[in-house]
């Protein structure tokens, strides 16, 4: 891999979206170079935190604040994030010379995010025991289920995405429903191995339509939920198996491959309605 990148690469810096510790470690080994994660936004004119080369204790984090800005965490009580708790976590707020002056011709939005000189990012961070910052969630992707429980959808997608059967995942919850559903793009290699073990000699497209595969994926997701000690209302109760990955052509993801939730809901509305209809019939 190092040779494919020219053979002289010394440093890789990742930003724009979280990089899992497994991928970060893989790149360190295969590229024989330092791999760092950084954190910043358009509103902060670029990087506000960065890891230090060869500090393995920063693996999976975005490092420490840059010298030209300050970072603090603000409590998000409805999500259970407390900066003064045992595991300090909360909304990341940034102050310093790097901040923008405001959104163009949009003073209302500017006032919403700039308060007393602090820019409220909407990202949830956690301070590790060694003092470095880790991005763990997104405040804006918070929903309340019908029983009153709050769910952080992006955090769940990151957790469920660790399962090898998942290639792409979009988790959906409705404020008038008590359960979560998801659209899953399965990993073809994992699905084909599963089919081979069961003696199923079918192409990937046909396998994705099997009820048996849906049930297998739900069990896999349940195992991941138990492993990560998720609460029962955070378990996914139904899935729609999709063949094609979420892509830019259908406007389902951003340029950095983050889910566009509103567009995904419009695209899969019929499938979501069907999943909830089946779940309701089971309860009856």
pLDDT tens, residue by residue, 238-274 = 999 999 999 999 999 988 788 988 899 999 999 999 9
User: Within 10 A of 30 (CB to CB), how many other CB atoms are there?
Assistant: 13
pLDDT for 83 beyond 60: yes
3 state SS of 205: helix
Categorize the per-residue pLDDT at 283 as very low, low, confident or very high, splitting at 50, 70 and 90: low
- In the chain, where the domains are located: 11-140, 145-283
User: Within 10 A of 28 (CB to CB), how many other CB atoms are there?
Assistant: 17
pLDDT of residue 142: 76
d(CA 268, CA 264): 6
d(CA 218, CA 114): 42
3 state SS of 3: coil
List CB contacts of 50: < 8 A, sequence separation 6 or more.
13, 36, 37, 38, 39, 62, 63, 64, 66
* β-bridge partners, 12: 35
d(CA 39, CA 45): 11
Contact (Cβ atoms closer than 8 angstroms) between residue 171 and residue 182? yes
Contact (Cβ atoms closer than 8 angstroms) between residue 240 and residue 208? no
**DSSP assignment letter at 244:** S
Domain 145-283 has CATH 1.20.120.160: no
Residue with tokens 């429980």: 149
Contact (Cβ atoms closer than 8 angstroms) between residue 240 and residue 247? no
d(CA 171, CA 154): 8
d(CA 142, CA 266): 19
pLDDT of residue 194: 96
Q: Identify the CATH class of 11-140.
A: mainly beta
d(CA 256, CA 15): 9
Categorize the per-residue pLDDT at 92 as very low, low, confident or very high, splitting at 50, 70 and 90: very high
d(CA 284, CA 274): 16
**Average pLDDT over every residue of 157-178:** 93
d(CA 21, CA 108): 38
pLDDT for 180 beyond 90: yes
Scored b (16 or more CB within 10 A) or e, 98-110 reads bbeeeeeeeeeeb
Contact (Cβ atoms closer than 8 angstroms) between residue 12 and residue 30? no
Average pLDDT taken over every residue of the chain:
91
List CB contacts of 68: < 8 A, sequence separation 6 or more.
96, 97, 98
pLDDT digits (tens, 9 = 90+) for 208-244: 999 999 999 999 999 999 999 999 999 999 999 999 9
């Amino acid at each position: 891999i190092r040779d494919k990148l020219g053979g002289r690469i010394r440093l890789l810096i990742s930003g724009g979206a979280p990089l899992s510790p497994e991928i970060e470690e893989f790149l360190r080994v295969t590229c024989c170079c330092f791999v760092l994660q950084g954190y910043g936004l358009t509103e902060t004119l670029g990087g506000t935190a960065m890891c230090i080369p060869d500090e393995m204790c920063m693996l999976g984090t975005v490092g420490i604040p840059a010298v030209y800005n300050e970072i603090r965490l603000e409590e998000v009580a409805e999500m259970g994030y407390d900066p003064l708790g045992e595991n300090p976590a909360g909304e990341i707020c940034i102050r310093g010379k790097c901040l923008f002056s405001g959104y163009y011709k949009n003073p209302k939005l500017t006032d919403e995010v700039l308060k007393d000189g602090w820019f409220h990012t909407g990202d949830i961070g956690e301070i590790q025991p060694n003092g470095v910052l880790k991005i763990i969630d997104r405040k804006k992707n918070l929903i309340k289920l019908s029983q009153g429980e709050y769910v952080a959808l992006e955090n769940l997608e990151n957790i469920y995405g660790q399962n090898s059967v998942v290639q792409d995942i979009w988790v959906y919850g409705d404020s008038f429903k008590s359960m979560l559903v998801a659209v899953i793009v399965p990993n073809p290699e994992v699905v084909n191995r599963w089919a081979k073990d069961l003696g199923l000699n079918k192409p990937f497209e046909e396998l994705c339509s099997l009820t048996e595969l849906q049930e297998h994926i739900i069990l896999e997701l349940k195992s991941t939920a138990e492993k990560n000690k998720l609460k029962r209302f955070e378990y996914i109760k139904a899935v729609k198996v999709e063949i094609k990955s979420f892509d830019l052509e259908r406007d389902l993801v951003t340029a950095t491959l983050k889910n566009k939730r509103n567009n995904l809901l419009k695209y899969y509305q019929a499938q979501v309605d069907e999943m909830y209809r089946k779940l309701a019939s089971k309860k009856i």
